[in-house]
Amino acid sequence: MTLQVAGRVNRISVSPTLAIMMEADRRKALGIDVVDLSLGEPDFPTPVHVKRGAINAIERDFTKYTATGGMPLLREAICAWHASQFGSSYSPDECIVSAGGKHAIFNAIQALVEEGDEVVIPVPYWVSYPDIVRCAGGRVVMVHTPASDGFCLRAEQVEATLGSRTKLVIVNSPNNPAGTIIPRREFERIYEVCSRRGVWLLSDECYSHFVYDGAEPYSVGKIPGSKPYVIVAGSLSKTFAMTGWRIGYALAPQPLVQAMVKLQSQSTSSPCTISQYAALDAMRGNMEAITTMLEQYNRRRTCTVEGLRAIPGITCTAPDGTFYAFPDVTAHLHRRSRTHPTGPGHFENTAELARQLLESEHVAVVPGEAFGAPGHLRLSYATSHDRIEEGLMRMARFLRSPESQS
Ligand code: PLP
């Protein structure tokens, strides 16, 4: 019997970033020295006081189910932390804790989007948004943000794409993969457009605290009166180096939070109790670890961007935030190798370039196609200075190799 998988699964694909991670891991397991610049996760350990929270929870036998939408104490702490960091004013009944930011976004979209509803997604986008929308039966409407404008989403572009079936606009600032921050005033204008047209605005704040050059973390949730149209999606994964703990949250109007809790009650139930206790200490504790990480990321940002710019044929804008560089490598596409016109060293697209880079130099990067932006590569600098330099050296060698010379 051939397995007939449900349409909702056939409509989506495995996350391309996770697929690359698996391929890089496979090579590492064979003993190959892979420089992995594909990973979207901090290389720093979870802060000590956060780990302590989890250890205490285990020792005190806090290992049972909690309320489906997260422990009331944690929801209160998240609202208080969000208020102190961004100036918002959410109450615990407007907060749900989920198994990571991705889960919170998945729940919000499942709870809101009906078959055929349109969801506006700026390009380049985080790999999961389109598939999460398609899984819910929604129609993805892409808005292309030009590289010449630093991939910044503008309110006029949003307005131009809104139609009678638009349910939701998703924004991510600073964004994965380009690191672009939407300027504060522009963000407010995007919110104004959405609220005027009765469209939801989902703001993914996953990288909120990793911003450079004096930029401050910003949340659209602080705009007075914005609650009826705004969903804030947050994650402790990057901010507190907690990717494996799987804690994220959403802040939204109470009826929507209730719908998300209902959905969660029939899928995952409450997030891991031990992780919730760790999160409680993250929310209540000091933020020194974040300052330290940011300083390191900032140094690595300089080293990555300068290293990329030193490779002929690559241009790279310094990211405003996150820990990703998103260089333009189009000059290296469609070149003919002297010896193998269509073989190694010839790339039609960045997916092929990334594949050959991993094959011959064991450097893992994510091709722009995964984010809807062919011609680019995403390099994560959430790894040590030495590994970044090694990766860039191999990449320069690869792009200069006789096979890839035209
Ligand atoms: N949003 C963005 C833009 C991301 O890059 C990620 C993870 O890579 C997430 C959300 C979800 O993170 P998590 O599910 O680990 O909280």
- From the number of C-beta atoms within 10 Å of its C-beta (0-12, 13-18, 19+), residue 131 rates as middle
Pick from 170, 176, 202 the residue to mutate for probing ligand 1's pocket: most ligand atoms within 8 Å of its CB.
176
Pick from 41, 107, 202, 238 the residue to mutate for probing ligand 1's pocket: most ligand atoms within 8 Å of its CB.
238
How much is the pLDDT for 401? 66
Q: Which of 354, 394, 389 is nearest to 375 (CA)?
A: 354
Backbone angles phi, psi at 234, to 5 degrees: -125, 160
| Atom of ligand 1 lying closest to residue 40 CA | 8
Q: How many domains does the chain have?
A: 2
Assess if residue 1 is contained within a domain.
no
Q: What's the gap in Å between 369 CA and the centre of ligand 1?
A: 18
Same domain as 294, residue 266? no
Same domain as 271, residue 188? yes
List ligand 1's pocket residues with C-beta within 6 A.
40, 100-102, 126, 172, 176, 204, 206, 235, 237, 243, 248
What value does the mean pLDDT take over residues 328-340? 74
Same domain as 186, residue 215? yes
Torsion of CA 213, 217, 223, 224, to 10 degrees: -120
Question: What is the Cα–Cα distance from 281 to 262, expressed in whole angstroms?
Answer: 27
Q: How far is CA 331 from the centre of its chain?
A: 27
Per-residue CA distances from 133 to 81, 145, 160, 248, 278 (Å): 29, 20, 20, 19, 31
**Residues 6 or more apart in contact with residue 347 via CB below 8 angstroms:** 332, 333, 334, 335, 353, 356, 404
DSSP class of residue 343? S
Same domain as 52, residue 41? no
What element of type H or E holds 173? Answer: none
Q: What's the gap in Å between 334 CA and the centre of ligand 1?
A: 33
Same domain as 41, residue 53? no
Q: What's the gap in Å between 206 CA and the centre of ligand 1?
A: 6
- Tell me: pLDDT of 13 over 90: no
Same domain as 376, residue 269? no
Give the residue whose CA is nearest to atom 5 of ligand 1.
176
Assess if residue 85 is contained within a domain.
yes
Give pTM, 2 decimals. 0.94
DSSP class of residue 366? E
**How many other CB atoms sit within 10 Å of the CB of residue 272?**
18
| Atom of ligand 1 lying closest to residue 176 CA | 3
Domain end residue (candidates: 225, 257, 285): 285
Q: Which of 227, 238, 229, 276 is nearest to 98 (CA)?
A: 276
Per-residue CA distances from 20 to 36, 88, 161, 344, 394 (Å): 10, 37, 32, 20, 18
pLDDT in tens, 181-207: 999 999 999 999 999 999 999 999 999
How much is the pLDDT for 338? 47
Q: Which of 105-114, 253-262, 345-354 has the lowest mean pLDDT?
A: 345-354
Q: What's the gap in Å between 101 CA and the centre of ligand 1?
A: 6
What value does the mean pLDDT take over residues 52-67? 98
Domain end residue (candidates: 232, 264, 285): 285
For residue 64, give both structure tokens. Answer: 């049972």
State the CATH number of the domain containing residue 351. Answer: 3.90.1150.10
Structural domain containing residue 354: 7-45+289-401
Same domain as 339, residue 193? no
pLDDT band at 406 (very low <50, low <70, confident <90, very high): very low
Same domain as 132, residue 110? yes
Assess if residue 114 is contained within a domain.
yes
Same domain as 330, residue 371? yes
Q: How far is CA 116 from the centre of its chain?
A: 25
pLDDT in tens, 132-161: 999 999 999 999 999 999 999 999 999 999
Question: What is the Cα–Cα distance from 328 to 400, expressed in whole angstroms?
Answer: 16
Sign of CA dihedral 56, 61, 67, 69: positive
Amino acid letter for position 223: I
Domain end residue (candidates: 266, 285, 304): 285
| Atom of ligand 1 lying closest to residue 105 CA | 10
Q: In what order do the strands lie in the sheet with 248-251?
A: 95-98, 248-251, 230-235, 200-204, 166-172, 118-123, 139-144
| Atom of ligand 1 lying closest to residue 103 CA | 14
Sign of CA dihedral 284, 286, 287, 293: negative
Same domain as 279, residue 316? no
Q: What's the gap in Å between 331 CA and the centre of ligand 1?
A: 30
Assess if residue 2 is contained within a domain.
no
Give the residue whose CA is nearest to atom 2 of ligand 1.
206
pLDDT in tens, 219-229: 999 999 999 99
Assess if residue 143 is contained within a domain.
yes
Sign of CA dihedral 209, 212, 214, 220: negative
Give the residue whose CA is nearest to atom 1 of ligand 1.
206
- Tell me: pLDDT of 300 over 90: yes
Same domain as 38, residue 172? no
Give the residue whose CA is nearest to atom 8 of ligand 1.
40
State the CATH number of the domain containing residue 122. Answer: 3.40.640.10
Q: What's the gap in Å between 176 CA and the centre of ligand 1?
A: 9
pLDDT in tens, 64-94: 999 999 999 999 999 999 999 999 999 999 9
Same domain as 329, residue 246? no
Question: What is the Cα–Cα distance from 346 to 70, expressed in whole angstroms?
Answer: 51
